[in-house]
Homo-oligomer: A and B are copies of this chain.
Amino acid sequence: MAKSQGILTNMGVDYVIVFRFATTDRPKAEQRFENLIQALAGVGLATEVRNGDNHSLLVFVKVASEEHIFGEVYRSRVKDWMYGVRAAAPSKEVRQSLDGEPMNESERLRIIHQLITNPASEGGAGITPKKGQWENVESVFALHDHVYNKAWIKKWSTQYLLTPEDLDEIRNRLGEKVAYYFAFTQAYFTFLTAPAAFGLGAWALLGSFSPFYAIFASIWCVVFVEYWKHQETDLAVRWNVRGVSKIDTKRHDFAHEKVVTDPVTGEEEHIFPATKRLQRQLLQVPFALVAALLLGALISTAFGIEIFISEIYNGPFKSVLVFLPTVILTTCMPILSGALTTLATRLSDYENHSTNAAHEKAVTQKIFVINFITSYLPIFLTAFVYVPFGTVLVPYLDVFSLTVRPFAENEKQLKTPTSAKFSINPSRLRKQVIYFTVTAQIVGFAMEVVVPYLKRQGFLKYREMQSSRAHAASAGGAPPPASLTDEPEEKDFLARVRSEAELDIYDVTTDLREMVLQFGYLALFSVVWPLVPVSFLINNWIELRADAVKICVEMQRPTPSRADTIGPWLDSLGFLSWVGSITMSALVYLFSNDGLGPDGNPSQIKGWALLLSVFFSEHLYLVVRWAVALAISKIDSPGRQKERRERFAVRQQYFKESLDQTSRLPPISEKAEDLNFTREKLEEDARQSSLSGSSTEQRFWSRQRSAGEVAVVGKGMIERALPASSEGKKEL
């Protein structure tokens, strides 16, 4: 009962701040702690403090008064409206506005998080964990809602499809950014059914490298990417976040170079020259080259060794040596790509972007380059180097034989294959694709579950060591466990908070990246083995649920943040489907006869025919993309309608308000009916007035004094030009 109580209640806590002081000396730690509490109090947040594990304190934060948070939410909504994020203007009364559209949990948590972390100039407490004077602030996190989480997992695991309301729920709980990931994966999963069905049919009836499957898959990619763009906008409107990426939040680490007066706002602005940044961004080119070179060299070496051992080498230890490339890859690859990722982050830091969005985009782009190479290069090598040029290149692989010479028992085992003897292994490509799209997915999935657990255990150990060292330095003997001083009724709750404090922080981009890379295999290589989409369909059903579990169990509750797109990954999707149009056609041409060229011999592959099919396919892709984008843009959607409706309402109101004073003039028309003057008289009048008028212009306009007069005079002219007789004649 007590235990379940600890899980059931969050004690009304909005955020927990972990203050760790194991490596700080006491007066400093005390001073910093006091600063922290003062800063929080300064922005209207109430606090409580409890002991944490291993030389840390847990500071519990909640909003001091609900009025205060209402005010903040209202400010945020008005700001959104001013920036065009919301189409409907919030009601002028705070209460009324919040009654009309109640604040949801993620909005509340987001605003409180902003209160804690925003700089003082933007009305926050300016607490930046692990940085500068806030070095001791280890983390700021919200508590899981375990009751809800349990219901959530249960619901999802018994449901085949997620409904838009499920996504709304995620948005209300975890914020738009996480919700976008689930929305994307769900859309991708739903769309996968089509190529999965077609792929199953193609696998059974058409076999691999079917041009029909390739065309279907390419068009599917285009439709999916374009549909998602459309859907993204729709969700943004639904969630009131459209254009939210335009509201820049300054990066903490941004270092300005000069202070100028902004010509727009007249305020002082910290800037970093764009040209200088552009110069620094040019470093991306050598970075991409270096990444390609290093990773390429590693992968090619492993690849070469693998071919040499499996297809040429025939000496001793072969059964052991076949694992050599795998060993090389699994040891060197993570190190290398880790180093490159660090380099990418450093490079992005060096580019010194002024907003978080720009920084994140820069990092993502560079990481995509690394991932592109590590994920797809092995298959590229097999498809476009090994198969077409294998007979030419493989003989050169005997450089490796020098290395294994000591093991060889006789020269025969090191036979250098001649092109006559060596023949390429046509099933290699298929095996490789199956490996990447099935085995690697399963392995990756397992890693996602296991690695965070190990990491957590490691950290825990590290903390304990740190803490006991601090203790050893002080008095000797282990510190009393934090739970010793707990009130009995808080015991379970605090135990839970302490364990949540140890959890990892959820990074949604990792999951998104995984999905995008998966999409890449489909777009680039699925023609090799049409069951790829089937595998992904199954994988993603599980993935969606596993990610939900991961967020609930393995990670701290993510701090809600807003987004109106999946960000730079969208460009990656477009890029992958473009490249797919090239690779698919090339694969179909190269392998439509099991990789042996149209005449059964790889050397018979015609360069011009290959290039022509690529050229044709790529341009077809571009035309189809254009047409699909056009067609999809015509589709209306509830979100778009909502937005238009709101904008219309705003406009209508403003028209009313500001145009009341300029109501239209009453029409200036004496009806021409009241004609008690004759035409002759009028014309005489006109002649008369010409004498008395003061200027030519005045006289010109006073010849006919009203619309009625104009009508009469004009009719007179018509009559004179078409005398009555003409009418008679016509009627004859």
A5 to B696, CA, bound (A): 10
**A442 contacts which chain B residues (CB < 8 A)?**
none
**A641 contacts which chain B residues (CB < 8 A)?**
263-264
Question: What's the minimum C-beta distance from A86 to chain B, rounded to whole angstroms?
Answer: 13
A647-669 interface code vs B (CB 8 A; 1 in, 0 out): 01001001100110110110111
Contact between A667 and B723, CB atoms less than 8 A apart: no
**Does A94 have its Cβ within 8 Å of any Cβ on chain B?**
yes
Contact between A704 and B479, CB atoms less than 8 A apart: no
State which of A212-220, A323-331, A470-478 sits at the interface with chain B: A470-478
Given contacts A11-B696, A664-B123, contact A707 B470 (CB under 8 A): no
Contact between A718 and B264, CB atoms less than 8 A apart: no
Question: What's the minimum C-beta distance from A579 to chain B, rounded to whole angstroms?
Answer: 11
Additional A-B contacts beyond A82-B655, A473-B726 (14; CB < 8 A): A21-B718, A37-B710, A38-B707, A40-B707, A48-B700, A57-B718, A60-B700, A75-B662, A82-B654, A263-B645, A274-B634, A278-B634, A475-B725, A489-B699
- Looking at A79, A83, A610, A730, the one whose CB has the most chain B CB atoms below 10 A away is A730
**A726 contacts which chain B residues (CB < 8 A)?**
25-26, 470, 473-475
Closest B residue to A721 using CB positions? B55
Nearest 9 CB-CB pairs, A to B? A607-B608, A474-B726, A41-B707, A611-B611, A608-B608, A49-B714, A264-B644, A41-B669, A42-B667
Question: What's the minimum C-beta distance from A649 to chain B, rounded to whole angstroms?
Answer: 9
**A614 contacts which chain B residues (CB < 8 A)?**
615
**A278 contacts which chain B residues (CB < 8 A)?**
631, 634
- Looking at A474, A634, A672, the one whose CB has the most chain B CB atoms below 10 A away is A474
A717 in complex: contacting residue of B57, B475, B665, B699, CB < 8 Å: B57
Q: Which of A7-47 contact B (CB under 8 A)?
A: 9, 11-12, 19, 21, 25-27, 29-30, 33-34, 37-38, 40-44, 46-47
Contact between B25 and A78, CB atoms less than 8 A apart: no
**Does A421 have its Cβ within 8 Å of any Cβ on chain B?**
no
**Does A678 have its Cβ within 8 Å of any Cβ on chain B?**
no
Contact between B700 and A490, CB atoms less than 8 A apart: yes
Contact between A47 and B696, CB atoms less than 8 A apart: no
**A648 contacts which chain B residues (CB < 8 A)?**
264-265
Question: What's the minimum C-beta distance from A506 to chain B, rounded to whole angstroms?
Answer: 26
Q: Which of A685-732 contact B (CB under 8 A)?
A: 690, 696-697, 699-701, 703-704, 706-707, 710-711, 713-715, 717-719, 721-727, 729-731
**Does A255 have its Cβ within 8 Å of any Cβ on chain B?**
no
List, sorted by A's number, 21 A–B pairs whose CB atoms are closer than 8 Å. A11-B697, A26-B722, A33-B718, A38-B671, A38-B707, A41-B706, A42-B669, A44-B667, A48-B704, A55-B722, A59-B710, A65-B665, A75-B659, A90-B658, A264-B645, A278-B631, A474-B722, A475-B725, A607-B612, A608-B611, A614-B615
Closest B residue to A638 using CB positions? B263
Contact between B658 and A92, CB atoms less than 8 A apart: yes
Given contacts A263-B645, A641-B264, A648-B265, contact A38 B711 (CB under 8 A): yes
Given contacts A44-B667, A612-B611, A667-B41, contact A719 B12 (CB under 8 A): no
Closest B residue to A31 using CB positions? B715
Contact between B44 and A665, CB atoms less than 8 A apart: yes
Contact between B703 and A48, CB atoms less than 8 A apart: yes
A611 in complex: contacting residue of B79, B83, B493, B615, CB < 8 Å: B615
A608 in complex: contacting residue of B46, B479, B606, B730, CB < 8 Å: B606
Contact between A701 and B62, CB atoms less than 8 A apart: yes
**A699 contacts which chain B residues (CB < 8 A)?**
489
**Does A536 have its Cβ within 8 Å of any Cβ on chain B?**
no
Given contacts A26-B719, A489-B699, contact A710 B667 (CB under 8 A): no
A645 to B671, CA, bound (A): 50
**A655 contacts which chain B residues (CB < 8 A)?**
78-79, 82
- Looking at A263, A707, A727, the one whose CB has the most chain B CB atoms below 10 A away is A707
